[in-house]
Structure formats: C-alpha cells, structure tokens
Structure 1
C-alpha cells in the first residue's frame, strides 16, 4: 500500500441528497466533482471497493491482469461463428474510478468529425465545437493550454518520458509506408503516427478517482459509498425519485431531491433501467418484469471497436522491463483512399499480447513484441439482453464483431499494413522475423487469422443512445425520455462510437452532464 494514499471518509447515510450519482467511472467522477464544486449535496454510489493505494492499480505496467481480478465485473461477449465460437472477455472496472482504475490509461478523443456525426445523428448541440470546451476542462496537459488542449483540469495527461524501442518501431514503420508523423493525436487531425497521451504521472496511474474525487474527499457535501450495488430505481408519477441499493447486504432506499444520474457504463446502465421496468416492453415481458416506462431502445445499438490481437513479431534482442503501460505510441490511417478520416489504428505492446487461439496456432515463445491492429470506424452493431430478471443475473452481450463486410475488409487492411510496418527497413535492428502469423498471409488466410485474433478494445458504448427518434433513450441534454429526475452520463449515450478510446469522450460527457443537471447551459 502506498504511504501517500488518502483515506476515503466514511459518512453516515442520509435519507436523501440533492443528487445521487450511480457509478464512479469516467462520467460518474466528472459529474460528481462538478456538482460538489457547485455546492450540491451529492451521494456517489459505487458497487466495487475503494481500491486506493493498491499497487496493482497504481503501477501502469500491471494493468492487464486487472481485467480478470477482484476489481473487474467479469463480463464476456457472447460467441458467434464470425469469431470461431470464442468467448471474448470484456473487462469493466468494479472499483472506485471504474475502468479508469483498471484500463490502459490512454487519453485519446478521436477526430472532430466523430462529434459532428453525433449532431447529424440527432444529438443536437454535440458537435465538436460544442464538446471541445469540455474536453479542455478535463485536461491538465503536459504541453499546457492551447486552442486544442486544456491545462489545470483534474486529469493529468503526459507522454511517456522515454519512447520504448517497440513504440518507436511502430512510428518508424508507419513513416516508412508514407503515413505522416504527428506531434499530438488530440489535435485538429488524428491521422498519423504519434507518441500516445496517457493518464500517467510520476510513474503512477492517474485515474478519474485520483483526479476528480481524491482532492474533494474532505468536502462535507460529498458522500462516497463503495461496496453498494444499485438494484433498482423508484418511480413516482413519471419521476425517478430514489435508488434502491445494497448496504451491508440489505436493500436501502435513498432519495434524490433533484436528480438521479446513471453512470454505471454501457452494460450496467441499461441493466439497471431494465430491472426497474424501463425498457422495451417485449424484452421486459420475456423476463416477467412489469413495464414502468416503455423505452424500446434500452440495450440496443451496442458498439465496440474490434481488435486483431495481435501480430506477434520476433525481437533480435531482449526488450528489458516493461515501461509505462507497455505501449507508448499509436498510428491512425485510412484503410482506403477517399475516406474523410482515419478508420484503422495500431498500437505497440512490449511483449506477447496474442489471443489464446493465436498462441495455440503459432510459436510465440522467446523475445517477442506485438502490434495490435484494429478498426476505429466500425459499422457492426449489437445488443445487450438480460437473461435473468435479478441483480447480478446473467446477460447476453453481443457486439456482432465482423458482421459487416466493410469491417472485415478494413480489418484485413489493418493487419496487412501493420505487418509491413513491423518488417520495414527502418526496424532492421529490432525486427527478427514473424511469429504470429509466421509469414505474410493471403487474403483468405488473413480472414482466418482475424476470426481467431478478433478481440475488443474495451470500448463498449451506445446502449442508451442520445437522440429524438423512437429508439433514443436520452435526449440531447442526457435526460431519459419521458421521465423526470433521471439522467445518464456514461458511454451508453453515444449514438455513434467515436474513433478513439472511450475514456476521454465519456469524461467530457460527465462534464457536460453536470452543467445540464444544474441548468447552467
């Protein structure tokens, strides 16, 4: 345990608060901080433990095993023939800070066109010009404030102090293929190879819990309750008035005088809504849940980025200890000419990051490194269904990876070009040959490789999307359609998945949610 770790205050629960926020991930931490700063009395409910001062969380190099640890929900994507019947794990943080306490610490907000697409999809007021001030408000960027970046915000963002040879190899390999090298992927255009931005400072993870919550632990108008699972919402005459949650194993009802803000993430926000009778009447009837409020879009529109994990390469020499989060750079480029923005993405791993099916097919022993290749403008859309009408019950979570032919075509290009980046002459001092795949592949062989390698970037989103049509769950001010006193502030509201890791845009959503909740905009 860290000697500098703060202590989470324990405060007696009251019967009601101005605001009750459920879930302490990217969106929940941001909305909580801004409400508390404004003087509101706030209860933040988190199902997981505090996780404060835990070395495995604080050490950036130790993040991967957190995905199947006591700090994870243990969710999986349902198998399909498109991924050869494999069950794909979907890590979700169950701890104060949510997935920001267990993820790869990437801070990346994609392309301005991502958010302009939200506006065109019906999320009025969510163009990039509308979102940029809130992105900047999140940030404490090492390069200081600019038109594009923020400084002095809760989340410290830095590049790795030293570029690992594997991270540099990805940049150099991309440059050899004519892909530009750019200074900052969070600038006006993300196309190119760059050193990545991280929520890491002083060699430690900078989670949302650390940045947004720890500085205000001592505020008397903030109560943080960990180890408390939300099991239902209480509705009264068209208004959400209270949350039912477990405290020491017993169900307790806590009221919200102003609003309840759901920030449980793209799995557990729709789950809680459905358990509360808010959702598609057909789905609720299947589960024998009484319909409290019909919203057919709950659980639909599930989106994630597919990842080919991974192209494993042989190193000519030992790579030494892992630095940073085990990566350090990224590349974004277009799978075909004429696209308005980059759609495919690659990142380095200072070791073997192959899926188990790939490890079973190929010899990946010895000194190796990996390049992950994936699709950031995926078109495949899935769904989430409850299989049991009880808290913690089983779910069917289906992203439909590789369902769209365009996605398969783009992924083929991503894998083929990533292999060429590794084998570029610029990397002659590092690249010692192919491991998985063990040679360049034909198109049909690449498709077969993809079906075994396909995994997830952990960017689950879209299951309570914004909009004004019949399947939209929240409006453009994040209010649940047809109900008073209930908002959503997490990745579930994204109408279209942005071309980036979802931590940054979800934090921005939380920042905006606070302003909406308080009527500031």
Structure 2
C-alpha cells in the first residue's frame, strides 16, 4: 500500500471545489472547499468508521485530523515499533497528574496524533469484551446491550478465520491471530493451563476466560492495519470525502441551538468549515471534553473559571474519567536469549478472576518479548540483558474514577488529567492477587525450561510497593462525556449532544462504564452505530 501512495510529502496536490485534500494547504486559499454535509473531527477508531458509513450513504463528509498522514510510514506499519511511537511526533504528549496512590509519579497517557488516531500507534489489540460489559452500558443508556452492539462489531471486522455467529468476515478492519511458535507465547499458553485456566480458541468467542492467542489489527502481510487504512483508504479518491490532516479544531460554531461547523487552524492560518447536517466529535476521551468546553458546553463553574461563555450547561463533561491500570511490568530472566521480536511483541491473552466469587473475569495479562518497566522500576532493579522478558498485568474491571480539567482556554495547553489510578482499593487488591498468580505461573511446570529467575519483583519484595511503582496505563481512557438516559448524562443513548441539534459524539468519551477489554474495538463499534443513528434521525 505504501508504494501506491506517496506520503513522503505532507501537503498533497491541491484540488479545487468538489474534491478532496489530504492536508490543509500551507496557505489557505479563498476557493478551498469549506462546506460539507457532515464534519467529523478526529480520524481514529470512531471517526474513521462514522465517516465511511456516512460517505457510503451518499453524504459529502470532511474528516479533520490534527496529526499527519500515516499511510506508508514504516514505523507505524511495523508492529514491533509500536512502543517507540509514544511520546514522540506521533503522540499528543499527555500525562496523568501524580497522586500518592502511584507514589507521586507522572504517567504518560499516549494518544495517537496521526491519520487513524490511536489505531496508528496502539498495541493493535482487538478485544471486544463480553455481554456483561454491555449490559452495564444498557443500564445507563437503553439500546446498548450485547445483542444491540454485536451487528456493529461484526460489520467492522474482517476476521481471518471467517464469519460466524459472533465474528464478521467482510468488514473494513483486518483482524488476525499471531504465529504461536515464539517460545514465550508457548510458555504463556502452557503456564496458564498449568494454573488451571482453560485454553480458549478465540478471546472474542463465547467465553473469554482462560488463556489463548490474542486478536490483532495486523494484516496477512504482518503490517499494522489502522482504522484510516481500513475505512478511509478505499474511498480516499472520492469527491465526497475531504481529509484535512495537520488541522487542529479550535472551537465549534453554532446557528441558534444547532451546531453549524468548526473553526480550524492549519500551518498558516484559520478557516471556518460549515456543516449542513451536523458535526461529529471523535477526538477521544481527552480532547472531546476540551473541545466541548472551548465551545461553551460544559460545567458552568469550569467555563466561568476559564472565561468562556456558557452555550449549554453540562456538568458531567470532563467527569467520570476511567482507565485500566496496567503494571509495567513483571520482569523475569529466561533460560536463554529471546531472539527477535515477533509481531507486536506479545501473542497471548490470559484472562482470569482475582477472586473466584466475582461474576466476571477482572484481570488480564499478556507477554512482552523483552523488558518493560516504568522509570521507577528501572531505578530499583537490574533489568540488563537480552534474556529478560516481561508480563504486563492489568485490572480490566477497574473501579477508580477521576476527571479532566482545562488549565487554560486553549486547544493546545496541557490538561490536568486525573484518572485516580488505584484510588479505589478494589483495584489495588486485584493487582496484588494478579502479581501472586503470575509469580506462581512462571515457576509452574508450564514455563519449564523457559523460566530461570525473578527480576522485578523479587519473591522477597513488598508487592504493594511494587504495584504502586509499576502502575501505568492501558491507554484506555474513557467516560468523560458519557451517554445515558438520565438527565445528568451530556450525551443521549443515540449519541446526540443534549441541548444542541446537529452535534454527535462517537468516541470513548461516551462510554458510561469502562468495559473489561481493550477499547479500540468498542469505540469502532460506537462509530458504526453513530452513523446508523445519524442516518436514521436525518
């Protein structure tokens, strides 16, 4: 694909009215097309999906993306390079605010700044969760149970094993499982079985409790398959699709109580884009609440503090922030060097309960074909050597919640982002249980003869201190503009912003309660359903 599309130049050829742009021109021309049926802000998991489905229904759509084009970029296409994309040119550079729960540490929260959003920089995991996750959504927002959501999940995916009652075989996104032959992959499969976990054929199958090969957004040629590549690339030449990259949304505009467009900024100037039918926000759980507040939609006291006028009073904007805490990581020494990294450096998912009495699995672990540690762990332990491997551990039924605050009325100023990781003692207790489980697993017959010794933590360490030192994030932030039937929810169950016509939200910010899975698949499903709702309500 990279050979066909030359993305070496940021600004592609400029075309006149009725045609597309791949980047905002370096000088905004007076005759540049600025009016569309729909404007989608953000090109990630939700934005690309809703843009494609609206386009396919006959609409003229524009996609506004602050990041650069990502097609054909080798560091993005290579699954093994995903971690190096963080905190660099392809990342927004956000950080979680320190708390005592994590020993006063600042934690980076990577968010992709590229065409395709975080699907261009994440770990490529495709895990949809279980019906119980969506029953909790349905309790807040009617119409979001598993049976409501499953058709959209299936419509989004092209599973390499083919269509079934639970899987889609002809969707835009390519989903594959990894080569199982890496010795660490085999050790995880055997180790989980030695700990009494069942082997599962597919974590997106009927019962994802046990250990099995993961699903990845990696194509048959071994390359990352982003949302933009799956949804937008096939229609990139359409006269009804305009994709503006390196284009930052500054604030929404309104005609009365209807969202009418957005003011954007490119390299050398601003432009006002107008939407005849409406605007869809899909910039994620951090940037969507910011853009809403910059547009006058948010908590009254917060808007007043920032000197912003109140368009719509919405007290819950920026609240209900949730994420999955991830330990980076438990490190061990192997009996021999690991060799070259395969795929994204993982391979399996281990899904189990921290307490047998829980109604649903709440822990997830995955292998890392190399070292993985927070700076605090690097300072404390000796992680040297090419024989060190790691296991990441996360709480997927996490309970801690926090909020986002704007430090300034600016689309680029640092945010005060506080998910309150480990703030709920249930999350800490679950992680402590998980550490014990994994320490036993690597010592089980399933890991013999792969495992040699403990590196971080040691058997004699205080595991609570280790958890607080190693706590990081799964990058699954969500919930800051939650949908719901109740009056306090700022977004309706059909994803319309309450109090404003012609404005929808189609990203992780609408999630009322974090699901026990990675969020790329659920947000893609949200984008699919957003397009359905918008077209039905037109």
Residue pair 1:144, 1:150 contacting (<8 A) in 2 also: yes
Aligned position for 1:374: 394
Aligned position for 1:132: 150
| 1:252 to partner: Cα distance | 1.2
- Alpha-carbon spacing, 1:380–1:10, altered in 2? closer, same or farther (3 Å): farther
Aligned position for 1:429: 449
- Alpha-carbon spacing, 1:155–1:217, altered in 2? closer, same or farther (3 Å): same
CA distance, structure 2, for counterparts of residue 59 and residue 16 of structure 1: 37
Please say if 1:251 is aligned against 2:274.
no
- Alpha-carbon spacing, 1:103–1:422, altered in 2? closer, same or farther (3 Å): same
| 1:10 to partner: Cα distance | 4.7
Q: Which runs of 5+ in 1 are unaligned?
A: none
Q: Specify which of 473, 488, 506 is matched with residue 456 of structure 1.
A: 473
Aligned position for 1:398: 418
Aligned position for 2:279: 260
Q: Which runs of 5+ in 2 are unaligned?
A: 17-31
Q: Specify which of 498, 513, 517 is matched with residue 515 of structure 2.
A: 498
| 1:93 to partner: Cα distance | 0.3
- Alpha-carbon spacing, 1:211–1:440, altered in 2? closer, same or farther (3 Å): farther
Please say if 1:413 is aligned against 2:453.
no
CA distance, structure 1, for counterparts of residue 459 and residue 114 of structure 2: 42
Aligned position for 2:102: 83
TM-score (norm 2): 0.94
* CA RMSD between the two structures: 1.4
Q: Specify which of 212, 218, 230 is matched with residue 200 of structure 1.
A: 218
| 1:236 to partner: Cα distance | 2.1
Please say if 1:39 is aligned against 2:58.
yes
CA distance, structure 2, for counterparts of residue 363 and residue 35 of structure 1: 53
Residue pair 2:192, 2:446 contacting (<8 A) in 1 also: no
Aligned position for 2:183: 165
Aligned position for 1:300: 319
CA distance, structure 2, for counterparts of residue 240 and residue 220 of structure 1: 24
- Alpha-carbon spacing, 1:9–1:187, altered in 2? closer, same or farther (3 Å): farther
TM-score (norm 1): 0.97
CA distance, structure 2, for counterparts of residue 221 and residue 99 of structure 1: 25
Q: Deviations over 1:490-518 (max 9, x none)?
A: 00000000111100000000000111111
Residue pair 1:156, 1:211 contacting (<8 A) in 2 also: yes
Residue pair 1:308, 1:415 contacting (<8 A) in 2 also: no
* Residues 73-472 of structure 1: pairs in structure 2 closer than 5 A: 73-120=92-139, 122-201=140-219, 202-366=221-385, 367-439=387-459, 441=461, 445-472=462-489
- Alpha-carbon spacing, 1:382–1:408, altered in 2? closer, same or farther (3 Å): same
SS in 1 for 2:285: helix
SS in 2 for 1:205: coil
Q: Deviations over 1:380-420 (max 9, x none)?
A: 00100001111201210011011111111111111111121
